[in-house]
Structure 1
Amino acid sequence: MKFTKITHPLSRRAFLRGVGVTMALPWLESVPVWGDDKSKTASSEPPVRFACLFSGNGYHSKEWWAKGEGKNMELGKVLEPLLPVREKLLFLRGLYNQEALIGGIHSCQTGNLLTGAHLAPAGEIKSGVSCDQVLAERLKNQTKVPSLVLGCEPSIAAIHKNYSMIYSSHISWSSPTTPTPLELYPALAFDRLFRDEVGRADKSVLDAVTEDTRGLRNAVSKSDQRRLDEYLSSVREVEQRIEQAGKAGRLQGWRPTLAKPDVPRPADGIPQDIDQHMRLMCDILVLAFRTDTTRVCTLKLNNDHSSLRFPNLKVDYMIHHLLSHTDGADWLKVNQFFTQQLAYIATKLDQVQEGDRTLLDNSMILMMSSMMTGNHNNDQLPVVMVGRGGGQIKTGRTLDYQGKPNRKMCSLYLSLLDKAGVHLDSFGDSKERLAEI
């Protein structure tokens, strides 16, 4: 199809289309409407995006801290990768989930991280609807994909301390009894964003929309043409990297008896290398937000009680869970590797200009764990956020809620949902906002 010249505000979301493929447009000044057919007034204001990154088993006991403000903010060694974006960072101390203190470890501490709900014990599965899915439900008519739920480690099916390990493996919940399925495969996550018929995966997404792209270039401003070129280049780069994923042959964990596989490598598999896997998922998150294909994403970097290994860091003698109990130099390396993923996402988002702000300014990216350290203490949780929620959040600050009557995680979620345009009387176990956010 041909993309007709834009002479008036669009009354619908704008897409590039090809055979079996739909790509949402990035923010363009020549396309004045964001939203769906229900929009009554044209607005060129970019939307607010929300994401949550999770890493299990907490962080180094002495190196998760921040102090000061703005460009003078100091960060503990765990958070040092975030120094370049510290002026767009919010460090939150003292928040916690009351229901996560009821008993057990790992599963009981993780399953309600984004819900604040009471968890059912004895192998039963029951939590609550998570804040990301509440937001996704309210915004589902405004984007192609309501939410993207990504993971870098498969779910665990077992019982630990009287609680299902399903809780340890999921932070996003579509209903109280249904954890949102994780997408572990970068190629399939990519397909979900851009393809209408996954079976056509032998053809490049960009090749499929070439004709529509040509028509669009003739209809937008010079600056929008540059934005479009940058966006299409980033899509091509991720496509090429997905094709190369796993070909280097660096294995982790258990070493097989064969140096090379004796059967053809399966297509569209999970990359062998955890650093490559995480980086691809980070790129897909950025692409999803950049294209407005979704405005809601969770990225579970690992499980609580994780079995990941880290040969990329020269730390391959111990799995993540056991390493978390050591609190030594190798544990710090692993912690920094996880916060590097947030720093990478933040930097990429901050390079994309959307009107007077950047894509990072128009986002709220949380990173947290279900316990403060590997010793299972969760009377307060490690929480950091980058992004300004569409200019609504003052960043470059540390906020300390220790000793305050309102320090519930769900109070934070109520505040962030407000910034995304979803206003609730209550969520989880809270009816209050965090006034400072």
Structure 2
Amino acid sequence: MAEARRRASILDYVREDAARLAQALGAEDKRKLDEYLDATRAIEKRIQRAAAGPQAEAGSFAQPAGIPADFAEHVRLMIDLQVLAMQADLTRVSTFMLGREISNRTYPEIGVPDSHHMLSHHGKNADKMAKLAVINRYHMDFFAYALKRLKETHDGAGSLLDTTLVIRGSAFGDSNDHDYMDLPVIVAGGLVRGGRHLVAEKGTTMSNLLLAGLQLLDVPAKAFGDSTGPLAGLADA
């Protein structure tokens, strides 16, 4: 912990280098550098606040220091870190599992004290289905937050969202029966035309969607997993 406090901000170690770099940059690149440094510091402050406050329950398992007790803040921090990494071109691929399989997490903060997993096996009970819908909407709020962060992050003449393909999916079409057909999937970003509902032919593998996404990103893939061809319609302007 003493080492963590001593190195409270990574920016302290790069301040002089950043200042020298800024002197050699044009106005637009300098603005982008300032934006990145400001975003980095803002995330550092949020992590420091989390480390100073109550920690998330983890039973007998060891956990990294600084995990917020607030689930929503934890998720937003993870999203912001991913956006920051993409902004700096540290990575061009990122995945994030919001709700793991068989999760027994409860959501009292949104009025659902019941286990998520048990609600997913609702048995057509109307009350359980309504609570599950509340959790689903809550998770979708985080997806909207991710899109918002990408859209407000400058990248060249546009935003990160303009050049990013974002896929939000689920493991089941009907969790009650563990039915993995008719999966609900959202594809967003500047590479696809929004405002459409594409219905894939019955039996279409998810790999077809992923193959179509790779080709939209100019990855010269001819096959992916068990694909039978790129999903029709995704690349339509």
Higher relative contact order (CA 8 A, sep 6+): 1
Q: C-alpha separation between the residues in 1 aligned to 2:165 and 2:136? A: 21
Whether 1:296 aligns to 2:93 is yes
**1:399 corresponds to which of 179, 191, 198:** 198
Question: Hey, which of these two has a bigger chunk of strand by percent?
Answer: 1
Aligned length: 222
Q: 1:280 matched to which residue of 2?
A: 77
After superposition, residues 32-51 of structure 1 pair within 5 angstroms as none
2:142 pairs with 1:345: no
The within-5 A match list for 1:235-246 is 235-245=40-50
Matching residue of 1:428? 225
Shift of 1:304: 1.5
Q: TM-score normalised to the size of structure 1?
A: 0.47
2: CA distance, partners of 1:287 / 1:346: 13
Q: What does residue range 154-193 of structure 1 map to in structure 2 within 5 Å?
A: none
Contact 1:360/1:388 (<8 A) preserved:
yes
Per-residue CA deviation, residues 252-293 of structure 1 (Å, 9 max, x unaligned), is 799xxxxxxxxxxx8624332322221111111111111111
Alignment-mate amino acid for residue 119 of structure 2:
L
TM-score of the superposition, structure 2-length normalised?
0.83
- Which residue of 2 is the match for residue 359 of structure 1? 160
**1:230 and 2:29 matched:** no
Corresponding residue SS for 1:385: strand
Amino acid at match of 1:430: S
- Aligned CA RMSD, in angstroms, stands at 2.4
SS of corresponding position for 2:165: strand
Cα–Cα, structure 1 residues 267 and 385, in superposed 2: closer, same or farther, change >3 Å? closer
Cα distance, 1:252–1:373 mapped onto 2, change above 3 Å: farther
Contact in 1 for aligned 2:67/2:74 (Cα 8 Å) = yes
1:390-428 alpha-carbon deviations (Å, 9 max, x no partner) = xxx32332211144x7x2211111111123332223221
Q: Partners in 1 of 2:226 and 2:103 — Cα distance?
A: 28
The CA distance in 2 between the partners of 1:435 and 1:267, in whole Å, is 44
CA drift at 1:354: 2.0
Q: Which has the higher helix share?
A: 2
Amino acid at match of 2:194: T
Segments of 5+ residues of structure 1 without an aligned counterpart are 1-198, 255-265
Structure 2 spans left out of the alignment, 5+ residues: 123-127
Contact between 1:425 and 1:431, CA under 8 Å: does it hold in 2?
Answer: no
Partner of 1:379: 181
| Percent identity of equivalent pairs | 34
Alpha-carbon distance in 2 for matches of 1:431, 1:201: 53
